[in-house]
Structure 1
């Protein structure tokens, strides 16, 4: 199972939000590339980056910071936030991003996602973000009437690499990952699932790793790392057992 340390970008700074609320941001640093380097030193081969401003604006807003991360991180960069057209997809892949996470466009323009998944095999991840079991979009500001599992099933034959499932109500709160909902989703679809939202420590990593055979590909963790509640090297070792 892959452990993805998270770098969330707001105005060029490394932050973490509580429940996806831009007004509840905690700043952890002003050098995203340096932070990516620290994760690499701890043994991370993957990093998950989110352009938060881009997610709300619908177009990339932290390009300079993302480019610096890609240039400094020796592993695979997975990027989400504001990716809603072919030009943006082509630009990021051209700059060396390994995988792109698409959320809002997956709900509103699924054919676009299918086209990109065909064009960039193994490069597209569909974000299925949930509030009370329903899909949230527009940087989690809006909630649709589409259920999470129904949303994921729409892309089972599309060739997407993974589904990234986030329980928005837990994100950034250190309340523990919603393991039950994540595993239920992984068992319901034929696409690998990445867990996100609320990871608070090694117990979450251990529990999720027990369901790797059910389709849990990885887990994203942010605040627990920044607050010192989770040691990245230890988490990676546990996930690889």
Structure 2
């Protein structure tokens, strides 16, 4: 069964969405904790939260808002953005965060991420720009291929992989299902698709391909919900 992850991106304490990771493009949608409660009322099990300010500067920047989200709902929280060391991981675990997403540090220090995954619920975020890994809140593009980074974590203790096509993120022009499938195959982990989802057909197509290829995973739904392109409650009921 496909796992659904409604998303909240935090910038300066507010729920926003970006276009292709450009902070200047941020569109404000409102109060983050209110969205978390809405997702819970719709029947979601998870909420995917990103500290955008933290992703760009490499340390937590929206702690107050993240704690408010945690206190406002009973959802499982998957959180990324600016998590670079064990001290930050412990801080979030103590706050009650259920799964931590490590992105930039996964490419720069994969051994650290593997070590953390033994003790904590860790997802590796693979953000791809034309097939290459992007880091530091997508501000920098590396020379490493996304598939090579995914292979690095095969047969490790990580909880999941999150595959984001930056070129599609916030564009509402469709998921990169092919890239998601490739990353799932080479890593052999639970794989979450992200970036560009445009409508419910995208969700159904992803589910069909996951089933056909015996892949377990999920999908992050962000801008398509905020812009009224999908009936999130209906999707959540379908995959409950």
The alignment's TM-score, normalised by the length of structure 2, stands at 0.96
SS at match of 2:157: coil
Task: Please give the secondary structure, in 2, of the residue aligned with 1:211.
Answer: helix
Q: Which residue of 1 aligns with 2:235?
A: 235
> How big is the shift at 1:188?
2.4
Q: Deviations over 1:121-174 (max 9, x none)?
A: xx1000010000000000001011111111011111220011100000000010
SS in 2 for 1:177: coil
CA RMSD of aligned residues (A): 1.0
Q: String of CA shifts for 1:160-213, please: whole Å, max 9, x gaps.
A: 011100000000010010111111222222111100000011001101111334
Higher mean displacement: 79-88 or 149-158: 149-158
Shift of residue 70 of structure 1? 0.9
Q: SS in structure 2 opposite 1:225?
A: helix
Pick closer, same or farther for the CA change 1:174–1:216 going to 2, 3 Å.
farther
Q: How far apart are 1:221 and its partner, in Å?
A: 1.0
Q: Does 2:207 match 1:209? A: yes
Alignment: residue pair count:
237
Output aligned runs, 1:1-241, within 5 Å: 1-29=2-30, 31-120=31-120, 123-213=121-211, 214-240=214-240
Residues 205 and 239 of structure 1 are in contact (CA less than 8 Å); yes or no, is this contact kept in structure 2? no
Q: Unaligned 5+ residue runs, structure 2?
A: none
Instruction: Tell me, yes or no, if the aligned pair for 1:3 and 1:44 is still in contact at 8 Å.
Output: yes
Q: CA deviation at 1:15?
A: 0.2
SS at match of 1:163: strand
Structure 1 CA distance, aligned partners of 2:111 and 2:180?
A: 25
CA distance in 2 between partners of 1:187 and 1:239 (Å): 23
Secondary structure of the 1:157 match is coil
Alpha-carbon deviation of 1:17?
Answer: 0.2
TM-score by length of 1: 0.96
Quote the Cα distance in structure 1 between the aligned partners of 2:163 and 2:233.
23
Q: Which runs of no fewer than 5 residues in structure 1 stay unpaired?
A: none
Shift of 1:216: 4.1
In structure 2, distance between residues paired with 1:39 and 1:239: 14
